[in-house]
Amino acid sequence: MTASTFRGRLTIMTAYEEGPYSTATVKQFLEYVDGYLP
């Protein structure tokens, strides 16, 4: 996950390749992150 700001804008990029976490776990994490964003 990468977050950057430029000219008053916040950009968040996420990417995940197959690894130790299941797809369901990654999706749940991203839903939590989305819940914190305005």
Report pLDDT digits (tens) over 1-38. Answer: 899 999 999 998 888 888 888 889 989 988 998 998 87
* Residue 15, token pair as written in the block: 């990417």
Cβ burial 23-38 (10 Å sphere, 16+ → b, else e): eeeeeeeeeeeeeeee
pLDDT reported for residue 17? 81
**Whole-prediction pTM:** 0.56
pLDDT reported for residue 4? 94
Domain boundaries of the chain, sorted by first residue: 14-38
